[in-house]
Amino acid sequence: MTIFIDRLIGAIQEKNTPCIVGLDPALDRMPKSWLKHQGITPKSSIVERAEAIYQYNLMVLDAIADLVPAVKPQSAYYELFGSAGIIALEKTIMAARDRDLLVILDVKRGDIASTATAYAQSYLPSEPKRPYAADAITIVPYLGTDCLDPFFQEAIQWGKGIFVCVKTSNPGASIIQEQKINHRYLYEIVADLIKSAADQSIGESGYSGIGAVVGATYPEAAIKLRQQLPRSIFLVPGVGAQGGGNEGIKACFNPDGLGGVVSSSRAIMYPHLYGSEDTNRDTIRQAAIALIAQVQDILTT
């Protein structure tokens, strides 16, 4: 069994980019002309809307599949449509796999004991097969080791990945994550809780699939966390629409150019909202190419 982290590093090297694309399908961001073509109106049913977000995802996947190593569906955008949305998520994951893309499912689960295990077993095990099984998931850590350990155990057992929300890109997170305890930030203490499991799950690539979500919007924090978790992969949001800068992106990587995946969602999925005349397969592809070039330039200068 080739574990997630080695597959991810291999795909990053093969495609020569650490960029991944978030799949956050929001009907109110999609071009009105595209929605009209899909027959979506204010009276459309939940099932019809869910099918529309899946069809939009197919357009995105076809545009970027050969460019990036992975995609990151955000579960909330699918849960919005109930069981029809979950079906759309399942179909999206299967479509990504059909295009040889790894899937990082952004679910941000966090609970304790048997409940945490149940969440982990919902998304991580390879057997029995589940349509929405992911290669890695995101979790939140603030219920402590009782929350973290069940997710780590399932991920290690099945060779999957975990990204713990350590220093996130949203401005409001600082009120919690930058609290100081014995002269250390809380996010540093959370990173300590990750390190043991990360060190136990290092693949042939030299990296671990037990990683952290570290926003590009906080370069000083990223520098500290990179030193604390030198072999963990960082999932780096805050790029593109959220305004993460060059310094923050570079701080999340090691000198070998590895150590992170840079995620962009809105700027790729909806180029018409960011200066492009239209959104279609070609303009989505061009937005992805622009991100890849931007990140490559940051990491090589």
Residue 240 and residue 271 in contact, taking contact as beta carbons nearer than 8 Å: no
Q: Which residues are part of the catalytic machinery?
A: 108
d(CA 121, CA 133): 9
- Rg of the chain taking only CA atoms, in angstroms: 18
Mapping DSSP to helix (H, G, I), strand (E, B) and coil, where does residue 93 land? helix
pLDDT of residue 208: 97
Q: What is the CATH number of domain 4-300?
A: 3.20.20.70
d(CA 262, CA 293): 12
Q: What is the pTM of this model?
A: 0.95
pLDDT of residue 127: 84
Please count the other Cβ atoms lying within 10 Å of the Cβ belonging to residue 60: 26
- Length of the chain equals 301
Q: Which residues of the chain have pLDDT under 70?
A: 238, 240-244
Backbone angles phi, psi at 235, to 5 degrees: -90, 120
pLDDT of residue 131: 80
pLDDT of residue 238: 64
pLDDT of residue 275: 83
Instruction: Please work out, in degrees rounded to the nearest 5, the angle formed at the alpha carbon of residue 159 by the alpha carbons of 99 and 156.
Output: 150
Across the chain, the runs of DSSP E, i.e. the strands, are 19-23, 70-73, 102-109, 136-139, 161-167, 180-181, 184-185, 208-214, 232-236, 260-264
pLDDT of residue 242: 47
Token pair of 276 as six digits: 């492009």
pLDDT of residue 114: 92
Token pair of 17 as six digits: 């980019």
